[in-house]
Structure 1
Amino acid sequence: MNKFYTLLLLSGAVLSMNAQQINGSFDGEWGKCIPWDSKGNTTVVGTTPKGWTISNVYPGIKVEVGTFEDREGGKAVKLTNKEAAGQIVPSYITLGTPWATAETKVTTVRKADGGTWGGQKFTYHPDALSFDYKRDNSHGKENATVIAYLWNGTWTQKDVPANTAIGVLSYGTATKVDMTDRDRNVLGMEKTTAVLGGDVTSTDGATCVAKINYAITGNTKKLVAEGEEDKNEYEWVSKTIDFDYGDNADAKVEKINVIFSATNYFGDRKYIVANNSLSIDNVKLVYWHGLKSLKAFDNDGNDAALEFDPNVYTYNVNSTFNDWYVPEYTKKGAGATVETKYDAKTAQYVITVKAEDYDAETNPEAVSTYTIQYAKPSPTLTSLSIDGHEFGGIYGLANEINATGKYNDNAEVTYKTSSEYATVEKSFDGKTLTITVSEEGTEPTVYTVTFEGKENNAVYQIPNSDFEGWTSDGKLNEGWHSFESATGALASFASFSPAPTMIEDGFEGKAVRLRSADLMGIAKANGNLTTGTISMGSTEPTDAANYNYTDRTNVSGNLPFAGIPDAFEVYARFTPGTARTLTDEEKANGTEIKLQGRIQLILHDNAPYYDPELDTQAGSKIASASVLIPETAKWTKFNGEFNYVGEPSDKQYMLASATTNPIPGASQDDQLDLDNVKLIYWHALSELTFDGKAVEGFNADKTEYTVKGNLADDSNKIAYKVKGKGANASKSVDLENNVLKITVEGNDISVNADSKTVYTIHFDNTSTGIGSISANETKNHKVYTLGGVRVNGKPAAGLYIVDGKKTVVK
């Protein structure tokens, strides 16, 4: 009797044949046993447990070879070989259908055969079969048999005689049928002359997935101590037998059959011994949930020598975990599932093995957990970025880093840690940024970034903007940068990217050429030139990890800028290549790839800035200007005006970028030639008025004007507006020559003396004659020296400007 099954029955639970178990307790109510034969027998011969059939037969008389016996308040199956009409009937029980055949003439028998066909629907992969048995073979030496098998598909044998045909004057003739899933056929046993039936066929792919064919030898007779009476008692023994899956552990299972026989099931019938018996109870399918082997490695990939024992569930490795060298194992359990997980917080690698019959509610114990305890590593930084400069790349991050630029209190510092449980602290002492990464139970890891504080002087023009300066190895030697100085995770692959090249036939002298290229099918890379630094973070061109930026940590990675430019000009040529194929999403969105180059200039304050621009950095933008360069074979001048969205800053940078296409990875084999990039600072008037009205004939390029009025009295009626974001204007008065001058200086006047324009306004109502007046009469007049200085009080005798006219004072 099986207590587990008893509990299930008491609780009303029912085990389905489609579930992971079979009914092996035999304690429930037994039903009628109606032996099957090819003639359609309906005679009941004894009883049989639910789900099973005992090999009782009805060859004209009832032969009952199996029944139950009491055991511990429950039932067990007792199988006994019996003699009937001079023949020994084998006793067995099966999940399939027992059958027997013979043709007789009076008491003579020929063509005897039998066994089991069919089975039960089943989908699991049990690893073993366990049962209790009691064996009595005292009536003659003979083995009992345990057979079990799992399979998919169907075998069919033609013309199998499957009933007992009784004859008197001649032999009876058995009725033949096509038999499906006969035990011998599923198990792949050879057909002999003693095996009846015709040809055997199977469905495509039919497979015997696993099998057991086990002989129970001897008996279980209770040993009798010396002097004790032999009561001929037999005791129960427990047994577990593994299924043999061969190479089919992953094969699909559709059916199962289990057979217990009191004789050698597939042996010669003439050796069956009458009255030998086999009692069976507590039949269960066993599902393993352990490991057969386990191997772990240290951080360098060396064997950690665990001394594995399947029944030991905790191990220690004196090394940190490296996910390049994860533990290796083999499971015990054909249908078992294995889950693995490394817990960075505890530094434990956990292997959870669940049997195929695991269920959190009904069978929660069908699981084994193996834990490998590693040494907990100190947390580290897996990435560090300061103002867009990603330090480290694919070769990792050094603990001591030197940066040639400056560190700013408002610098944008981002990072990732090796452990989500780590904490990070930052401190700055004016030169060195210290980053401490800590986690409970480990030693902290300290990183230092020392800034040398070097910085270039702010300029009004981009250095080497005529592209005449090149190094001996063919690189621009000042002002501009490309992939050779890139940062980011993929910076070490910069040599594969298309580098700028020098050409001799520039607009004036030398020039620079940018080309786009297909990088071995991995990506299409635009030609790229910048006054900042290129970040190479991804092989996908449109990835946000790819951008140009002002790198304030590197003295060569940024361009401090002093000017407030109004426009720029550039000479360019562009030869288009081949556009890439649009994705389905781009086609659906109406995306169009235009083959054109672009140069863009962005002026921003003392903060990180990227191109392509980020919305989060919008507050740092001061102004920008750009031009698109279509196909043109000749050098052509392009002009772009700056659009100011913010106010100039005391500390600002110019981020200029030139590319073969404004869309990343848009095409290949484009060619963009550039020369003479020049920033323009306007120094002109945009408006000139006299007494509230526009001065007649005003044009910003015209510098001489005449107005009707009195210079001394009307100079304040001259008003103007300046053209130029950073331009300044001043007025001067020349009373002797009746002239007012307006001098407009461009923002770059400090480095360019020609950056100014002087406008002259003449006043035409002064007299050409010279009158006279006595000194006493001057008190009611405006009197100026010829140098324009007003005279207060009584002037000395001489020539003066009186009320705007030259007058002799006596």
Structure 2
Amino acid sequence: MKKNYTLIVAAMSVALGISAQQFPNAGFEEGWVDCVPWTSGGNKTKYELTPNNWTIAHVIGVMNMGKTKVGENVAGYNSSSAILVKNAPNSVVASQTVPGYFTLGTPWNTAQGTSNPTNKDGGTFGGIDFTYKPDAVSFWYKRTHGTANVEEKAQVIAYIWSGTYVQKDVPGNIAISSSSIKKVEMTDRDRNILDMATEQGGEVTQKGTLVAKINYDITGDAADWTELTIPFEYMAGVNASPEKINVIFSAGDYFSTTPGVDNTLTVDSVQLVYYSRLSALKFKDVAVDGFNENKYEYNIDAWMPESADDIAYTVKGQSATASVALDKANRTATVTVVNVDSDIDGKNTHTYTLKFYGEAGVLPASTSYSGSITINGMTVEYPDGPFVHIYNGKGQENAAE
């Protein structure tokens, strides 16, 4: 069984009609299938396994020599399935280390030669169709290092974009000689989308628009399952609507051509997070005292406002919306935040409640007395009335300010 919020989200999605996209097969338990590593030479040979909807970057080698496994199915976080990826020595030339990573896109690699190859490059192209604006990626992981590079970082790379990127003359296979290297026109290459230089490949003839990205380093080891939430960085001034998304989990430095052998990363329960909370809350242009996005009730030292315009807020989520409701009978105002899918706690809505004294100009409930009243040492007698009514601005009976 996965983390509890996975079940909560599934139930809420049915009940509330939530339609935003999550990653497919995010727990890696919906079947593992034969992997057919992509090459520009049109490889059709199956090698090892990969989970449905994801691709582990297994390498097919040259003429079926040098095949290298870089990932496998292992026990997950409170579940039967997770992905472990590993920087592994090439099965024929052990001095060469093959990077371990998995992705929603298509892994590829190229090199020339055998024992000391040149023109090494690789990465991912493509992704999946996607039209929403998530705020973060959350997952559980473990991390270990071999002895070759004990300081190497693991990485999480994710990006959301619109349009299409095209690069000409990208070598996409491994061969002994340059004459056997086949170059292709590559669509939506990771480095092109992230505006990074490319060692191999020709002119970028077409560009789309980068909407948001993650480029996060995981350092150190994690022997036990550890939860991590990484926010997306939305590109300033970009108003393009998302069309595609890709995410990559790498056992080492993803953009390096010299990964540390035996370094591993294990990943489970990947979730896109859509925040439905506030990042700021004000009453009459003054920040609410003690505001915290995870605190949902506040006592306000003021009269109940006449207008919802007196309450200002900032939503945390990219696609979150909020509304204010006044309840004069109960001296409260509520700010309800809703997003298209689940927050980190599995909910897609959160409500903040502000409690006031009472309604301005309307006296709260009171208690009537006859006899006398003493205020600041002065006593006034009312033997036959009129009655004395004691009010308190905060609505407490039998007390006065």
TM-score, reference length from structure 2? 0.79
1:285 aligns with 2:272: yes
SS in 2 for 1:235: strand
Alignment partners' CA distance in 1, 2:234 and 2:264: 30
Alignment partners' CA distance in 2, 1:33 and 1:372: 55
Alignment partners' CA distance in 2, 1:263 and 1:157: 26
Q: Which residue of 1 aligns with 2:319?
A: 335
Alignment partners' CA distance in 2, 1:304 and 1:20: 34
Q: Which residue of 2 aligns with 1:352?
A: 336
* Cα pair 1:103 1:110 within 8 Å, conserved: yes
The residue type paired with residue 76 of structure 1 is: A
Q: Which residue of 2 aligns with 1:416?
A: none
1:347 CA drift (Å) = 4.1
| Closer/same/farther in 2, CA of residues 159 and 5 from structure 1, 3 Å limit | farther
Q: Which residue of 2 aligns with 1:209?
A: 211
* Cα pair 2:146 2:260 within 8 Å, conserved: no
| Closer/same/farther in 2, CA of residues 99 and 307 from structure 1, 3 Å limit | same
Alignment partners' CA distance in 1, 2:87 and 2:351: 47
Q: Which residue of 2 aligns with 1:143?
A: 153
RMSD over equivalenced CA pairs, Å? 2.9
Q: Which residue of 2 aligns with 1:152?
A: 162
Which of these residues, 74, 98, 117, is aligned with residue 125 of structure 2?
A: 117
The residue type paired with residue 238 of structure 1 is: E
Alignment partners' CA distance in 1, 2:10 and 2:243: 30
In the TM superposition, 1:181-260 aligns within 5 A as 181-189=188-196, 191-192=197-198, 195-203=199-207, 206-220=208-222, 234-247=223-236, 251-260=240-249
| Closer/same/farther in 2, CA of residues 249 and 310 from structure 1, 3 Å limit | farther
1:376 aligns with 2:376: no
Runs of 5+ in structure 2 lacking a partner? 363-393, 396-401
Q: Which residue of 2 aligns with 1:312?
A: 295
1:236 CA drift (Å) = 1.8
Alignment partners' CA distance in 2, 1:324 and 1:69: 53
SS in 1 for 2:230: strand
| Closer/same/farther in 2, CA of residues 250 and 134 from structure 1, 3 Å limit | same
Q: Which residue of 2 aligns with 1:177?
A: 184
SS in 2 for 1:184: helix
Q: Which residue of 1 aligns with 2:378?
A: none
Which of these residues, 20, 37, 42, is aligned with residue 39 of structure 2?
A: 37
The residue type paired with residue 311 of structure 1 is: N
Alignment partners' CA distance in 1, 2:306 and 2:30: 55
1:36 CA drift (Å) = 0.7
* Cα pair 1:352 1:369 within 8 Å, conserved: yes
In the TM superposition, 1:649-688 aligns within 5 A as none
Which of these residues, 115, 126, 138, is aligned with residue 130 of structure 1?
A: 138
* Cα pair 2:213 2:234 within 8 Å, conserved: yes
The residue type paired with residue 78 of structure 1 is: L
* Cα pair 1:99 1:115 within 8 Å, conserved: yes
Which of these residues, 275, 291, 308, is aligned with residue 262 of structure 2?
A: 275
Aligned length: 347
SS in 1 for 2:85: strand
The structure with the larger Rg is: 1
1:73 CA drift (Å) = 4.7
* Cα pair 2:5 2:346 within 8 Å, conserved: no
Alignment partners' CA distance in 2, 1:349 and 1:40: 63
Which of these residues, 142, 152, 173, is aligned with residue 163 of structure 1?
A: 173
Alignment partners' CA distance in 2, 1:25 and 1:137: 24
* Cα pair 1:249 1:335 within 8 Å, conserved: no
1:20 aligns with 2:32: no
1:324 CA drift (Å) = 8.1
Alignment partners' CA distance in 2, 1:137 and 1:286: 29
Alignment partners' CA distance in 1, 2:182 and 2:53: 27
1:112 CA drift (Å) = 1.1
SS in 2 for 1:311: coil
TM-score, reference length from structure 1? 0.40
In the TM superposition, 1:406-445 aligns within 5 A as none
Alignment partners' CA distance in 2, 1:306 and 1:73: 42
| Closer/same/farther in 2, CA of residues 175 and 5 from structure 1, 3 Å limit | farther
1:266 CA drift (Å) = 1.1
Alignment partners' CA distance in 2, 1:273 and 1:371: 52
* Cα pair 1:249 1:334 within 8 Å, conserved: no
1:366 aligns with 2:367: no
| Closer/same/farther in 2, CA of residues 314 and 250 from structure 1, 3 Å limit | farther
Alignment partners' CA distance in 1, 2:231 and 2:287: 31
1:241 CA drift (Å) = 1.0
Q: Which residue of 2 aligns with 1:69?
A: 74
* Cα pair 1:19 1:122 within 8 Å, conserved: no
| Closer/same/farther in 2, CA of residues 25 and 202 from structure 1, 3 Å limit | same
Alignment partners' CA distance in 2, 1:248 and 1:51: 32
| Closer/same/farther in 2, CA of residues 208 and 296 from structure 1, 3 Å limit | same
- Identical counterparts, % of pairs: 43
The residue type paired with residue 144 of structure 2 is: D
Q: Which residue of 1 aligns with 2:88?
A: 82
1:158 CA drift (Å) = 1.2
* Cα pair 1:209 1:248 within 8 Å, conserved: no
The residue type paired with residue 134 of structure 2 is: P
* Cα pair 2:9 2:346 within 8 Å, conserved: no
Q: Give CA deviations for 1:11-64 in whole Å, capped at 9, x if unaligned.
A: 9x99xxx84211221122101111111111111111111111000011133211
SS in 2 for 1:309: coil
Which of these residues, 291, 294, 298, is aligned with residue 281 of structure 2?
A: 294
Q: Give CA deviations for 1:632-666 in whole Å, capped at 9, x if unaligned.
A: xxxxxxxxxxxxxxxxxxxxxxxxxxxxxxxxxxx
1:214 CA drift (Å) = 0.8
Runs of 5+ in structure 1 lacking a partner? 221-233, 380-440, 443-810
Q: Give CA deviations for 1:246-284 in whole Å, capped at 9, x if unaligned.
A: 4368641111111000110012x13x1111111111111
Alignment partners' CA distance in 2, 1:372 and 1:196: 59
SS in 1 for 2:252: coil
Q: Which residue of 1 aligns with 2:286?
A: 303
In the TM superposition, 1:497-646 aligns within 5 A as none
| Closer/same/farther in 2, CA of residues 242 and 173 from structure 1, 3 Å limit | same
| Closer/same/farther in 2, CA of residues 340 and 247 from structure 1, 3 Å limit | farther
Q: Which has the higher contact order (CA 8 A, sep 6+)?
A: 2
1:108 CA drift (Å) = 3.7
| Closer/same/farther in 2, CA of residues 237 and 304 from structure 1, 3 Å limit | closer
Alignment partners' CA distance in 2, 1:127 and 1:10: 19
The residue type paired with residue 44 of structure 1 is: K
Alignment partners' CA distance in 1, 2:241 and 2:214: 18
